[in-house]
A and B are shown apart, each in its own frame.
Chain A
Amino acid sequence: NAGVTQTPKFQVLKTGQSMTLQCAQDMNHEYMSWYRQDPGMGLRLIHYSVGAGITDQGEVPNGYNVSRSTTEDFPLRLLSAAPSQTSVYFCASRGSTAIQYFGAGTRLSVL
């Protein structure tokens, strides 16, 4: 019963490097989202998807790209990492209710 799985758990990047944060869910949920959590800021929505092939921007989308080619996967791409993207990233999914289920997070540091 894996739920929402995020990889990697930790990552250190240099400014300008690119990387992809992986997110997979095995609950057949249509809706998936990416959030970032910064100290004192709560969780802020980056991008979300209401189904395969459909994505949209959240509150803080700049510097991030997403795609949704399958129901299960929703990767988050950083094309050119910046120190301001140092954060903890959470992926979430939900089914037919409003309750979102979160992964364990990816802690990213950009030097």
Chain B
Amino acid sequence: DQQVKQNSPSLSVQEGRISILNCDYTNSMFDYFLWYKKYPAEGPTFLISISSIKDKNEDGRFTVFLNKSAKHLSLHIVPSQPGDSAVYFCAAKTQGGSEKLVFGKGTKLTVNP
């Protein structure tokens, strides 16, 4: 039973446009959400996160939106750059669930010049 779902395996966007990556979850006990970016042959790197008490968090070109009622979050990248081409993982944890980050399967973003 997949608790964190990224239903789009891939996404292709033109440079300068907005990239929107989506993530759905089923466990209402999740209280913290993270986005990781992964390049080939490298480990995942932390990108941005959001607590369940917020509905938006922004860091430069990256914004994460959380809709708790819909159990949905999204990562917006504006403007998209070719260097943003990578696999993006959505992850979630429950309150007090120390190490148990639950990951989605990832979305491969390609930003075309």
Interface residues of A (CB under 8 A from B): 4, 6, 31, 33, 35, 40-45, 48-50, 56, 58-59, 90, 92, 94, 98-105
* A45 to B, closest residue via Cβ: B100
Interface residues of B (CB under 8 A from A): 4, 6, 9, 32, 34, 36, 41-46, 49, 89, 91, 93, 98-101, 103-106
The B interface is mostly helix, strand or loop, or mixed, namely loop
Question: Which residues in B have their C-beta under 8 angstroms from that of A103?
Answer: 43
Question: Which residues in A have their C-beta under 8 angstroms from that of B42?
Answer: 104-105
Question: Which residues in B have their C-beta under 8 angstroms from that of A101?
Answer: 46
A sample of 11 inter-chain contacts (CB < 8 A) reads A31-B99, A33-B101, A42-B4, A42-B89, A48-B99, A48-B100, A49-B99, A50-B98, A98-B93, A99-B46, A103-B43
With A45-B100, A48-B99, A50-B98 in contact, is A102–B44 under 8 Å at CB?
yes
Compute how far the CA of A20 lies from the CA of B49 in the bound complex, rounded to whole angstroms: 33
The A interface is mostly helix, strand or loop, or mixed, namely strand
- Minimum Cβ distance to chain B for residue A72 (Å): 17
Query: What 15 additional pairs, Cβ within 8 angstroms, besides A42-B104, A45-B101?
Result: A33-B99, A40-B105, A42-B89, A42-B103, A43-B44, A43-B91, A43-B101, A45-B99, A56-B99, A94-B99, A98-B34, A99-B49, A100-B101, A102-B45, A105-B41
Question: Which residues in B have their C-beta under 8 angstroms from that of A31?
Answer: 98-99
